[in-house]
Amino acid sequence: MEQSAIIEALGVRPDFDSMHEIKQRIAFLKSYLVESRQTAYVLGISGGVDSLTAGLLAQRAVRELRAEGRDATFLAVRLPYGVQADEHDATAAVAAIGPDRVLTVDIKPAADSLMAAVVVGGIDPLLRHHFILGNVKARQRMVAQYAIAGTASGIVIGTDHAAEALMGFYTKFGDGAADVLPLAGLNKRRVRAVAAALGAPDHLVWKVPTADLESDAPLQPDEDVYGVTYDQIDDFLEGRPIAPAAAERILSAYSASAHKRALPVPAG
């Protein structure tokens, strides 16, 4: 698939203005909540710039809805696996957002119990244990968010954006599962620009991105997994030329992760 076709498929626009994006995405969140006849947004806050940005947009959206006389609340959910390595950043992100309500669900007991049951059931992940457990963590976090949303007439926000979608860097039916994606079509540098325009703290805007899912590699940078930098990914998504080796790595990742971006395949 050619670069231009991928850019179009992922909805990355040629022009970018942070204030326009903020206005448009807040309007989207407001209209979706009203049209869905729900009264809350639910979002897991990790301490990274993606969930921080989505949270800032959601909190502004519900505040505007309340000013218009509508019932609207934003619930920020902390979802640590035991003790989170960068808990201080997650705490700072929550403080920056100022959510209406903060909930905490420790996913460690549920994730560990499931992994233990899988082993007892006859499947031992062996060397892939930490990778598989990482996916279980991501899915357990989404299970928790939907449980909370179910009790709060809520809509679950996802943090997927064009850079992660391009590389397939999310867990299928984990952080890749959500009701709305307010960051869709933005690459990483544009997410950071939106966060900065919303007044996010610099140390969170420019924090080294990490999924922090694999217990044997805590806080491993995303770029180490990609084999390319976010600057290269962002340049690709903005239609700029990049080194052939980087382009090949990106195209390979996009092709290999196609199943993540597709709906379940029906028979017949």
- Is residue 248 part of the annotated active site? The answer reads no
What would the two tokens of residue 175 be? 């952080």
Q: What are phi and psi of 154, to 5 degrees?
A: -110, 160
Which residue out of 50, 86, 160, 235 is catalytically annotated? 50
Q: Is beta strand 154-156 parallel, antiparallel or unpaired with respect to 101-104?
A: unpaired
Q: Spell out the alpha helix ranges (H) of 121-167.
A: 129-151, 162-167
Distance CA 53, CA 200 (A): 8
b/e map 45-62, b = 16+ CB within 10 Å: bbbbbbbbbbbbbbbbbb
Which residue out of 164, 175, 222, 234 is catalytically annotated? 164
- Is residue 21 part of the annotated active site? The answer reads no
DSSP bridge pairs for 210:
221
User: Is the dihedral angle over the CA atoms 182, 147, 172, 79 positive or is it negative?
Assistant: positive
256, 168 contact by CB (below 8 A) = yes
Residues labelled catalytic: 50, 164
